[in-house]
Chains A and B, each alone.
Chain A
Amino acid sequence: MIHGTHDHDFRSVLAPPAAPAGLAERVLQAARERRETGALALRFDIAASERGVARLHPGKGEIRAESRRARTLAERAREELSEYLEGLRSYFTVPIDLAATAGFQRAVLEAARAIPFGEVRSYGWVAEHIGKPRAVRAVGTALGRNPVPLVVPCHRVLRSDGSLGGYGLGLDLKSRLLSLERETPAIVGSDTTRIVCRHGCPNEQRIAERHRVVFATIAEARQAGYRRCRRCLPADH
């Protein structure tokens, strides 16, 4: 197809197909929805112990904590939650206290925590992961009782046919969270320091938008002359 080695050959071969009808309208609608999702963080009630965040559910934005340290943790959770919902963070650093859960449910929640940002797994995968391959339905129930949704990402678990399954906070929010994660970049570098970070790392948050460069892999970032941040240690999986 490229007969010679001339540049105009590349131009014609690479000419892309036309944009689909209604694209602009869909983009504008998504922008309106995003503004609503970002405002959600302020409405969560958060309960924390000395060990970490213990409960999280939609309410009036109240904090329940028995000590100063617990309060600090709850406030930190709200801040990270708000950054996450605005697409500014890809992981949570605030500790979680799952003491109120035990046995099977605990194992299910731990498995859900292992699903990386921006990825999804099936209920069956979770069941296999905890060594109970036949307990697919029970996995759904355990995830439905997740005391710390979003932070323990039970929204990343779908049916094996790709349909959404269930979600304690409503399927609309589940699908919004999944598209938010698809849209948030994971490996971000600064063209002034030539360092790449995980999205949400404190060093990454200081990068001005105009100095941001996103890479597909750490290997490609290295080729472009960037090195890994020592604080968040981004890695190719």
Chain B
Amino acid sequence: MKTIRIIARLDIKGPNLVKGIHLEGLRVLGKPENFAKYYYECGADELIYQDVVASLYDRNSLKDIISKTAKEISIPLTVGGGLRSIEDIDLVLRAGADKVSINTAALKNPEIIKVASRKFGSSTILIAIEAIKQANGSYLAFTDNGRQYTGIEVIEWAKKVEEYGAGEIILTSVDNEGTGLGFDIELTRAVSESVSIPVIAHGGAGKIEHIIEIIKNGKADAVAVASILHYNSIKKLIQNMENRTEGNVEFLNHGRNFSKIESTDIEKIKENLIKNSIECRI
């Protein structure tokens, strides 16, 4: 038996949980630790914290959020965003993360994958790949939330990170991220079939059918979802107004939703996986 993991991904900016589209245009949703605890209680298989503007802010607020969260939840927590060195990785692991995800630092210097996987164990080191489809149909890996061009082909890069000792790949389709239009099946399948390590599909879930599709046709080993969960959770979580007055809160205060996204929750996602003969933890 192999089970599929449903991972709640939380994008963090400073002290806030945020959500954007194509990794841009961030909106404040609330306190990440509250959402994390809620998703844990709802049956999320893992959590991912992604510090979306890591390079611009100081690290202490992220460290605090990790520690608070790790004490509350007993499922794996992956932290990514702006980790540039072995010392950075060590810092977030000591704060309570179980795994880290690296993108920019690995593309700049792939040797960090070897060193980090040797030091912390392969299973601790995840490589985040931000893929953008090119006019010729190929996919290239980008850094800095899809802003920075590297010219590196995604499949080749995926094979290389596996060879260098990465434990898993978090594959984001920047084109689809936050749109609710579905995952990039072609991309996910191509990467999943070219490596032996698990591939976590991320970017584009707008309804439960998209999740089923990316597992069945895209061969995803795990699925990371964000928007599709967050908007339902806001209604259920009593948010402290004072804690979300920072940043772009216009959207929150008006309680608007994305028209393309059909909000759901983890229980419903898993019920549907079982109905579709996909094994998962319930």
- A, B: real partners: no
On A, residues with C-beta under 8 Å from B are none
